[in-house]
């Protein structure tokens, strides 16, 4: 359906199909949002302040022909957001061995590139994305709406390749480079070796980063920016995580108590110590 003929996102009411409520499955809890369930062919999520902004973005992606995102259907009689269910497999909180696949990593890079191509030109009007109360993120100036949370847990995998993205709660304005670098941080992953996931200790981050960069299509200039941009992103991420833990509580507070601040600082230190080898791996 073209955007010109859509019911406004704030006015959509989802009417379930007969018997749909009998097919219910609790979905894995995210870091921040609990209470997500699958009901038939739909996902029901607690309504969030950014929900209508996300809904408008998902409408745009549908019109742009991007098939890797859910569709916003409206709100149910409990006030929950209703989205289409994207079938496939997502990694667990501690990503399994199958998530190490080089083919999967490259397909993630290509999927994110397609997302950015589809996002180009979108300007949220009726429901803008909320901005951080902390110091401005300079990447927001471009205005490109991005996912910004392409973790192994938020990529839907089918037949060993990335087929879709879920959990757009953190979507907002940024740049394609920032969003793709953030994706690499999670998928390579780029972090201190002491924080390696169980079974991932032998993975080569330099080789995997080059694989991702080639698949996404970073330019020479972007490849040379990786260490500095990653360090800047870690500093801002630390500030925002600490702020959200103190002001929003919930999952943000749990992550902070579990030591995410230390992990971010160790990542920043690893990027600083390995700046030259990272650039060499990306450019030579």
Determine contact, residues 143/178, Cβ cutoff 8 Å: no
For the purposes of burial, counting CB atoms within 10 Å of the CB of 115, is it exposed (0-12), middle (13-18) or buried (19 or more)? buried
Same domain flag for 139 and 202: yes
Q: What is the pLDDT of residue 245?
A: 86
- Looking at residue 136, its pLDDT comes to 58
Tracing tokens 């941009």 back to the chain, one arrives at 229
For residue 270, give both structure tokens: 């690893």
Determine, yes or no, domain membership for 91: no
The reply to whether 207 and 260 lie within a common domain is: yes
Residue 271 within a domain: yes
* pLDDT given at position 125: 87
Question: Do the domain assignments include residue 165?
Answer: yes
60 lies in the same domain as 183: no
Domain of residue 234 covers 97-283
Task: Tell me the C-alpha distance between 36 and 29, whole Å.
Answer: 7
The reply to whether 126 and 217 lie within a common domain is: yes
Residues 244, 126, single domain; the answer is: yes
Q: Which of 56, 84, 112 is the last residue of a domain?
A: 84
Which stretch of DSSP H or E encloses residue 127? none
The verdict on 73 and 123 lying in the same domain is: no
What's the CATH code of the domain at 191?
3.90.1200.10
| Pair 190, 50 in one domain | no
Q: Are residues 126 and 261 located together in one domain of the fold?
A: yes
Residue with tokens 């999927």: 111
User: Are 168 and 127 members of one domain?
Assistant: yes
Q: Is residue 92 situated within a structural domain? A: no
One pLDDT digit (tens) per residue for the chain, 284 residues = 555 568 999 999 998 877 676 566 767 655 556 778 999 889 999 999 999 999 999 999 999 999 999 999 999 999 999 999 999 999 999 999 999 999 999 999 999 999 999 999 999 988 998 876 655 566 666 679 999 999 999 999 999 999 999 999 999 999 999 999 999 999 999 999 999 999 999 999 999 999 999 999 999 999 999 999 999 999 988 888 888 888 888 888 888 988 888 899 999 999 999 999 999 999 99
CA separation for the pair 150, 130 (Å, rounded): 19
Q: Is the peptide bond before 189 cis (omega within 30 degrees of 0)?
A: yes
- Of 60, 84, 108, which marks where a domain is finished? 84
Q: How far apart are CA 149 and CA 166, in angstroms?
A: 9
* Closest by Cα among 121, 283, 124, 126 to 213: 283
Distance CA 137, CA 174 (A): 8
Compute the half-sphere exposure of residue 193: CA atoms within 13 Å on the CB side of its CA: 8
Q: Rounded to an integer, what distance in angstroms lies between the CA atom of residue 31 and that of residue 50?
A: 16
Write down which residue in 29, 62, 84 finishes a domain. 84
> What token pair was written down for 234?
């870690």
33: Cβ–Cβ under 8 A, 6 or more apart, which residues? 45, 46, 48, 167, 169, 251
The tally of domains found in the chain comes to 2
Contacts of 148 (CB under 8 A, 6+ apart): 170, 171, 172, 174, 179, 182
Q: Alpha carbon 166 to chain centroid distance?
A: 8
In a domain, 89, yes or no: no
Question: Same domain for 208 and 258?
Answer: yes
Q: Are residues 10 and 54 in the same domain?
A: yes
Compute φ and ψ for 188, nearest 5 degrees: -65, -45
> What is residue 130's predicted lDDT score, i.e. its pLDDT?
81
Are residues 61 and 166 both part of a single domain? no
- On whether residue 11 sits in a domain, the answer given is yes
Query: Does residue 164 lie within any of the structural domains?
Result: yes
C-alpha 176 chain-centroid distance: 13
Domain assignment present for 90: no
Both tokens of 96, joined, read: 């399994």
């Amino acid at each position: 359906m073209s955007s010109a003929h859509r019911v406004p996102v704030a006015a959509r009411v989802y009417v379930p199909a007969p018997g749909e409520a009998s097919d219910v499955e609790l979905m894995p809890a995210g870091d921040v949002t609990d209470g997500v369930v699958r009901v038939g062919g739909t996902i029901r999520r607690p309504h969030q302040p950014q929900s209508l902004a996300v809904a408008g973005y998902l409408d745009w992606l549908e019109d742009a022909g991007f098939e890797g995102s859910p569709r916003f259907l409206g709100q149910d009689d409990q006030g929950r957001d209703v989205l289409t269910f994207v079938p496939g497999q997502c990694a667990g909180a501690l990503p399994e061995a199958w998530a190490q696949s080089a083919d999967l990593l490259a397909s993630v890079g290509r999927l994110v590139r397609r997302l950015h191509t589809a996002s180009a030109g979108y300007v949220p009007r009726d429901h803008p994305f909320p901005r951080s109360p902390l110091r401005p993120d300079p990447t927001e100036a471009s205005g490109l709406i991005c996912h910004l949370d392409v973790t192994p847990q938020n990529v839907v995998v089918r037949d060993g390749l990335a087929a879709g993205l879920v959990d757009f709660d953190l979507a907002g304005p940024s740049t394609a480079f920032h969003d793709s670098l953030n994706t690499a941080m999670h998928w390579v992953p780029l972090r201190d070796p002491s924080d390696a996931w169980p079974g991932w200790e032998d993975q080569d981050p330099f080789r995997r980063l080059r694989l991702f960069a080639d698949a996404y299509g970073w330019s020479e200039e972007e490849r040379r920016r990786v260490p500095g941009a990653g360090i800047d992103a870690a500093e801002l991420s630390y500030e925002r995580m600490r702020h959200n833990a103190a002001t929003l509580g919930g999952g943000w507070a749990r992550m902070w108590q579990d030591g995410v601040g230390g992990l971010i600082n160790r990542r920043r230190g690893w990027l600083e110590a390995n700046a030259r080898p990272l650039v060499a791996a990306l450019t030579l």
